[in-house]
Amino acid sequence: MGVQFFVNGVVFASFIPRLPEIRDRIGADLGTVGIILTLAVFGGLAASSLCSTVISRFGTRQVLIVGASCLIIVLPFIGAASAPWMLWVGLALLQFFDVFVDVAMNMQGSWISARRRVPVMNRLHGLWSLGTVIGGGLSALLAASSLSLQTHLIGVAVVLLLTLIFVARGLLAEDEEHEAETPAVDDTGGVREAPVSQVRRILFFLGVMGAAAMAIEMVSGDWAAFRMADDLGASESLAGVGFVAFTSGMVIGRFAGDSIEARIGSFRLFQAAAVVSGSGVALATLIPNTLATLVGFVLAGVGTSVLFPFLYDQAAKAPGKPGAGLGVLTAGSRLGLLGAPVLVGTLANTDSLSVGQAMAIVILPMAIAIVALNRSAFSS
């Protein structure tokens, strides 16, 4: 299962560093690329509404294998895109099939984690983060070589196909029982009945917290370089260190999170992580000092790292139809992905606010809200 998380990270990182090359091939400007990337998110939203029904019908193992196979097929299509509509179709399909893979592998990951003395969800997501780092690095190196984009992505697809054959043999053959009124389990192992009203409340909170967590993670990472360059006057090479600091904190936090969770419980870890994340963001975005900003981004990464593993685990255990909680969570996270960049960009584009201030205005309320919503959804 860890290999699948790693591979899923590699898939998305395999073409991101080569987006400028794709842009030039399709003859689009940055504005058009931004629109394409935004509209592609709707592919994921469509899949989020279907995944629970599909998983109930076919099971997580089959959905994961078929979904991952489709992701592999889509990669060369993106490499061959020669017009804006082709890129949009490729990215929308990638988002669509990724939701099924994401939900299925997290359900299996949650079941495996529950069977172990020390949980593994944070480390599984750590492998995903590691996959994005390695996949992105290799992609950047290949972009600097003479290897064509299409050849590159075909090669990646072949390697991923061979990996999938290996992964499929180790997947859980049967899904765990998940009835319509599955009891909710707290950190102490106590069982709580889940009436319809509570099911709806949990699903609603999962969607909202997914949007908030995505806003925190995406804004902290994607806008770190702009904070360093525009606010602090960092050079191009130093500006990128802000992103590296945040992603490094993410990797550290995810590989350390499981052992901490085993000691203090998942709920307390989540609450503490949200506080650390918010504190790191405040330090990174509001203190006009390069060193303080970098330290802040590391702390923000460490805190943010365990938010989604916790939410995915809770969503996998959520009462209702199999995959319903994860479907709502992925839908919420994609809505956050749609709204947060526009909001930060609009605020930062004004004369009265810096990039850091715009980031803080968006992220800090999200960190506060996610603590309050988590307490309301899962602590009682």
Q: What is the pLDDT of residues 140-179, one digit of tens each?
A: 677 667 778 788 888 888 888 888 888 777 777 776 665 4
Predicted confidence at residue 177, as pLDDT, reads 62
On the question of pLDDT at 292 being above 50, the answer is: yes
On the question of pLDDT at 236 being above 90, the answer is: no
The span from the CA of 194 to the CA of 252, in Å, is: 35
How do residues 301-356 score in pLDDT, each as one tens digit?
999 999 988 888 888 887 777 777 878 888 888 888 778 877 888 888 888 889 89
Between 3.40.190.10, 1.20.1250.20, 3.40.367.20, 1.20.120.80, what CATH number should domain 184-378 receive?
1.20.1250.20
Predicted confidence at residue 181, as pLDDT, reads 44
- Measured in degrees and rounded to the nearest 5, phi and psi for residue 50 equal -110, -20
Chain-centroid distance, C-alpha 172: 23
* N- to C-terminal Cα separation, the chain: 31
Q: Where do you find CATH 1.20.1250.20 in the chain?
A: 2-170, 184-378
The percent of residues in the chain predicted with pLDDT above 70, rounded, is 88
Q: Which ranges of 223-323 does DSSP label H, i.e. alpha helix?
A: 224-226, 236-264, 266-286, 290-305, 307-317
Of 48-62, 126-140, 210-224, 274-288, which has the strongest mean pLDDT? 274-288
CATH topology of domain 2-170: Growth Hormone; Chain: A; (1.20.1250)
- Encode burial over 133-172: b for 16+ CB neighbours within 10 A, e otherwise: bebbebbeebbeeeeebbebbebbbeebeebbeebeeebb
